[in-house]
Amino acid sequence: MKQSTANFIAYNLRPAKQTERRLLIDFLRCASEHGAVNSDCRYVGMGGTMFYDFHLVHRFLGINRMISLERDPKFHPRSEFNCPYDFITVRNETIATFLANDRDDNVTIYWLDYDDGLGPDITADITSLGTRLKIGGFAFVTVYAQPPGILEKQRQDRRLEYFQEHLAPFSVSLTVDDMENAKFPTTVYRILMAAFKNAFSARTDGIFHPIFQVQYKDTVQMVTVGGCLCSETASSAFLRRVRTDLPFVAKGRPYKIRSFNLTERERMLFDAAVTKPDLNSPQAKSLQSLGFKTVDLNAYRDLLRFLPRYHESII
């Protein structure tokens, strides 16, 4: 049994991850405006010990039926101990077992937020999501997007062999070049997309739109793909709303969350500069004089609502 990474990663200080969470919540908020997501929904995630996503889902979407899955039996007691709300059930189960046995008829939002590298278990979990997701439901999958430990020091051709052996149906079009470190996140993204497409291809009651595609890095590259299973009629209004409110996310390729590492004073300048209609405002000019470029301002504008602020208090 692989041990939980929450044992050694400080999950409370990961700005890119928190930005991603907020983007995802806003994506769900777009659906809630059309009634697709409401407080009757259920949320299934992997809360670890911090339950950040659970906090956000409850606060901003009003959902109060939640299940957190913790596969590591040694870590499960800590997960239960830290569970913030009574309406969250913490279960010591793998995703595979949970999905096989889940008979809940409510519309569910699944966020399978793995810290593992992509493997046959994860693609099979996506296949199972294809049988479980109800119309109006959401499914998101996050995976480690760098070469996993077993492949880290391997040559590219050996990496390709591993993919062909373990992810055969999804590795047909992969080449040795796709195994380069720099291209690895894109390769992982392509396999996730193919897995989602395959999982929902037999569904006749709706279409799965995997339009939430995000890549981010705090310490390592991670990729998230997900979306909504909706009927053709319901999807157009929701997709229109997403394209209006989150135009940078719905572009058919992963949106890369930038790391800004700004001081509080710089951030105040950015806040003012990107919200002014004048692109050559004094604040924008000040930022340029500090070495920031137009691309930095554009990226900050995308993420203005989603970047977290961290404060340290010294006792």
Partner 1 sequence: VQAKWGFDITVRPPAKGHFGTRILITELHDEVMRRLNDGFFLSELKERISRTYSFFIGRIVTIRLNDDEINKEQFEIGSNFASEKFQRGDVSCNITAGIAAVRGESFRERNAGWFVFCNGRAVLFADKSALTGWTGGGQLPTFQPKHRPFLGVVFFVSPDPEDLPWTTTKSGINEESLIWQEAKRYMVTVGRVITGFLDSRYSDDNQTVAPPDLQRASGQAVSVLSAAVSSSQQFKLPRSAAPKMIRIQYQAKVADIRAIESYLRRPGMGGSEVGRYTFNWFLKNEVGQDE
Residues engaged in binding partner 1 (CB under 8 A): 8, 94, 96-97, 99-101, 103, 120, 123-124, 126-128, 130-132, 149, 165-171, 195, 198-199, 201-204
Query: Is 31 within 8 Å of 7 (Cβ atoms)?
Result: no
- Is the CB of 100 or the CB of 304 nearer to partner 1? 100
Taking the complex as a whole, the smallest distance from the CB of residue 171 to partner 1 amounts, in Å, to: 7
Q: 208 phi and psi, to 5 degrees?
A: -90, 125
Taking the complex as a whole, the smallest distance from the CB of residue 229 to partner 1 amounts, in Å, to: 13
Taking the complex as a whole, the smallest distance from the CB of residue 206 to partner 1 amounts, in Å, to: 13
Taking the complex as a whole, the smallest distance from the CB of residue 197 to partner 1 amounts, in Å, to: 11
Helix 294-303 and helix 264-275: axis angle, to 10°?
A: 90
Mapping DSSP to helix (H, G, I), strand (E, B) and coil, where does residue 171 land?
coil
Taking the complex as a whole, the smallest distance from the CB of residue 58 to partner 1 amounts, in Å, to: 28
- Is the CB of 109 or the CB of 199 nearer to partner 1? 199
Taking the complex as a whole, the smallest distance from the CB of residue 90 to partner 1 amounts, in Å, to: 16
Q: What token pair was written down for 117?
A: 């590298």
Taking the complex as a whole, the smallest distance from the CB of residue 149 to partner 1 amounts, in Å, to: 8
- Is the CB of 51 or the CB of 170 nearer to partner 1? 170
Closest among 189, 230, 192 to 208, alpha carbons compared: 230
Give the amino acid at 178: D
* 8-state DSSP, 36: S
Q: Burial of 110 by CB count in 10 Å (0-12 exposed, 13-18 middle, 19+ buried)?
A: buried
Query: What is the rounded CA–CA span in Å between residue 139 and residue 212?
Result: 10
Query: Is 146 within 8 Å of 181 (Cβ atoms)?
Result: yes
- Is the CB of 58 or the CB of 132 nearer to partner 1? 132
- Is the CB of 42 or the CB of 58 nearer to partner 1? 42
Give the amino acid at 80: E
Query: What is the rounded CA–CA span in Å between residue 273 and residue 197?
Result: 40
Query: What is the rounded CA–CA span in Å between residue 231 and residue 216?
Result: 30
Query: Is 126 within 8 Å of 141 (Cβ atoms)?
Result: yes
Mapping DSSP to helix (H, G, I), strand (E, B) and coil, where does residue 113 land?
strand
- Is the CB of 168 or the CB of 304 nearer to partner 1? 168
- Is the CB of 24 or the CB of 126 nearer to partner 1? 126
